[in-house]
Structure 1
Amino acid sequence: MDLDFIQKLIEFVSRSPIGELEIERDGVRVRIAKQVAPAQSAPQAQPPAGTVVSSNTGASIPPVARHSIRAPLTGVFYRSGTEGEPPLASVGDMVVEGQKIGVLEAMKTFNVVESDRTGRIVQVAFEDNAAVQSGDVLFVLEDLG
């Protein structure tokens, strides 16, 4: 891949609503992710599953382990079980392994999204009725150690 192509990809991601782009060409894989301010509702780039995130403020704060729950398939993401109901999971909620936290519709079939571990939800990456791709981060959990 040439640098001009990579620069065009960076510019594309910075101007588009997507938060992350990964492409492989000629045996070279490039992943571009942008960080969005927490106040915005756009999907945000997330650390890979199992990444330890810490603040470098000079204070002695132990690192916080975070875990990403990703879309198992491409489809439309719903935060609630049926229209008009409150979301199944929101930021700040404690969830347990196996708990239903969302729904993905693919080819007129509704698929349950379950938490694959216990933790506190610190981010919901997509709003209701959002189109998602397989592998997109849907939720970020703070592990409870």
Structure 2
Amino acid sequence: MITSFQDLFYSRPPWSTVLIWYLRAMALLLMGGGVIYWARIIGIVEWRGMWFWEMPIAIQGAVVFFAVLDLVAAIGLWLTVSWGTVMWIFRCLCQIVMHTAFSDLYGRRPYEIAFYLLTILIFAGLTYLMRRENRTAAA
């Protein structure tokens, strides 16, 4: 019976399973984001009161870029293959660069940047815990 946080911590599944759950949760978020980007492209959803064909070219390019990248990264994350993780981190870094270095064009979004950095840190932490657990199990 789980009566404390420590009991919960030690009765949890292996870190590799927790990492897979985390990657699949990120895949679901990316899948939702990709569908929203495609809804903007085909004219179902407006963005800040503008349809896709009314957006500046730079915004249109970003929407198409992330519409494709989100779905590709989501598939890779769901399958838990290494290229999916690379595509996801690349996507996060692209968003961070867009909203910092090119904030005059794409807008400044500090909460979004913090979210991306937090998700990457959680991934790094889970990967570290999984590898540490695997090393101690092998020894």
TM-score normalised to structure 1 length:
0.21
Task: Identify, as 1 or 2, the structure richer in strand.
Answer: 1
| Structure 1 or 2: more helix by fraction | 2
Q: Which has the higher contact order (CA 8 A, sep 6+)?
A: 2
